[in-house]
Amino acid sequence: MQITLIGSGNVATHLGAALKNAGHKILQVYSRNYQNAALLAYYLSAEPVNSLQNINGDTELFIIAVNDDAIGAISKQLAVYKKTIVHTSGTTSINDIVTDNSLAGVFYPLQTFNKNKELNFNTVPLGIEGSNPQVTQTLTLLANSISKTVFYATTEQRRALHLSAVFACNFANNLFATAQALLQNHHLDFDLLKPLILETAEKAQYSNPLAVQTGPAIRRDEKTMAIHLELLKDKPDLQTIYHLMSQNIIKMAVSTEPDE
Amino acid sequence: MQITLIGSGNVATHLGAALKNAGHKILQVYSRNYQNAALLAYYLSAEPVNSLQNINGDTELFIIAVNDDAIGAISKQLAVYKKTIVHTSGTTSINDIVTDNSLAGVFYPLQTFNKNKELNFNTVPLGIEGSNPQVTQTLTLLANSISKTVFYATTEQRRALHLSAVFACNFANNLFATAQALLQNHHLDFDLLKPLILETAEKAQYSNPLAVQTGPAIRRDEKTMAIHLELLKDKPDLQTIYHLMSQNIIKMAVSTEPDE
């Protein structure tokens, strides 16, 4: 397909690379910031543009990968070309895309992306939504060309997925950052935690997280929890998080086997 | 070394297997529950016992891997044999071990263990503490025989490590379980989140978690956060966790690059 990328951030970068590698032609990369557009366009053998006035209408698909707030306004400016317009947002409704021809869709990659880290896009689940069966079919074919996990998701389902992803990824990463800060306070190296972090994620690949929960809360080990809360006495926000997460563990607990 | 394992839970199981594989002799496995003792003892070619009266005093080292609350009472009963006694707890002081000869220590594996999941023990960081240089040396040698990451940690440092591990592992796993429950409410498969969970942990292996934080909170995307809180309107506990974790992300934010 001939594709135009609107955006040059983490999602646009990884999606663009995957599409190019699958043999699709990226015509143009748009970013308000010309340097950002130029850098990604160079990598994708595309033309950089930093004004929507310079968009080439001879594309087949516009992929809008920018902040959610800008999707409506940008699609409104692209509508004139009467091509399919999709966004990549987890939370934005398909109806927020402005079109002149009702060819709208969603192309939602369920993954955390950073420009500076490579990633095998083939493992990224892609959630598809189309404004009509033709769009859905086109997007499904496109998605299958870059990912082995393609699924149909309504806006409501996509929002639930995104919310779940915020818990499982964004908040988990913040816990890693919090742990790192706690270690730094005691002159301990974050490297010591890395095998634990990896093992925790690997366990979730093969086991029900509820069934493999470990730690003081699931053991109702009040003494250890009291020591931990005391260690956090100068950090009331972390005390509150500790308390709430421990309560959530206890609440969700299913039958588990304590350490001897 | 000739070693006696007190306990048959997740830690005792993995530690026992690693020690046996490294050529050490596990003499006995003690558990109050004879079946648990027998199962692990069979695997370790050891003798199962379910009464501390039947302990064989001709051992070199007692490793106590039971609930923290039982460490004091059990060590008191083992003190009579005048051998080195260590515990494996993240939070319990070395001074909670009762000895007749002052040969006490800590052998703390910084990992999450489940009996039913295999693990390469060589990657597990082992924190050592000894009541005197001789114990420390013995434990360091023993630790080096089963792990490539051995470090000395005071009780205070070990507590900070354990607290960090609760955030990075126990609470992260609870976030995975929470995400799974949210998906189930929308008839969505937890499998869709697994690549994201793995990628999040893999990013933490090579990047500073603060620097690779993604999601609506770090982008100050109030609209998305409002939609997420609305989706959680029947789950006040999760709303509170969502709010607090988002605040923590914003508070910890260092210079980061938003999506275009």
ipTM score of complex: 0.92
Q: Closest Cα to residue B150, out of B139, B159, B162? A: B139
Average pLDDT of chain A to the nearest whole number:
94
> What is the DSSP annotation of chain A?
-EEEEE--SHHHHHHHHHHHHTT-EEEEEE-SSHHHHHHHHHHHT-EEESSGGG--S--SEEEE-S-GGGHHHHHHHHGGG--EEEE--SSS-GGGS--SSS-EEEEEE-S---TTS---GGGS-EEEEESSHHHHHHHHHHHHTT-S-EEE--HHHHHHHHHHHIIIIIIHHHHHHHHHHHHHHTT--GGGGHHHHHHHHHHHHHS-GGGG--STTTTT-HHHHHHHHHHTTT-HHHHHHHHHHHHHHHHH--S-----
Under-50 pLDDT residues of chain A: 255-260
Q: Do B199 and A111 touch (CB under 8 A)?
A: yes
pLDDT tens digits, one per residue of B144-195: 999 999 999 999 999 999 999 999 999 999 999 999 999 999 999 999 999 9
Chain A residues lying within 8 Å of B228, measured CB to CB: 91, 159, 162-163, 166
Beta strands A61-64 and A84-87 are parallel
- B29: which DSSP letter? E
Q: Shortest CB distance from A161 goes to which of B10, B188, B207?
A: B188
Query: N- to C-terminal Cα distance for chain B?
Result: 59
Chain B residues lying within 8 Å of A203, measured CB to CB: 112, 114, 117, 173
Query: Which candidate in A110, A128, A166 is best for mutational testing of the B interface (most B CBs within 10 A)?
Result: A166
Q: How much is the pTM?
A: 0.91
Burial of B133 (0-12, 13-18, 19+ CB in 10 A): exposed
pLDDT tens digits, one per residue of A130-159: 999 999 999 999 999 999 999 999 999 999
Closest Cα in chain B to A8: B260
Closest Cα in chain B to A151: B192
What is d(CA B109, CA B129) in angstroms, rounded to the nearest whole number? Answer: 12
What is d(CA A28, CA B249) in angstroms, rounded to the nearest whole number? Answer: 34
Q: How far is B55 from chain A (nearest CA, A)?
A: 18
Q: Which two tokens stand for residue A72?
A: 């409506």
What is d(CA A240, CA A245) in angstroms, rounded to the nearest whole number? Answer: 8
Chain A residues lying within 8 Å of B118, measured CB to CB: none
pLDDT tens digits, one per residue of B17-42: 999 999 999 999 999 999 999 999 99
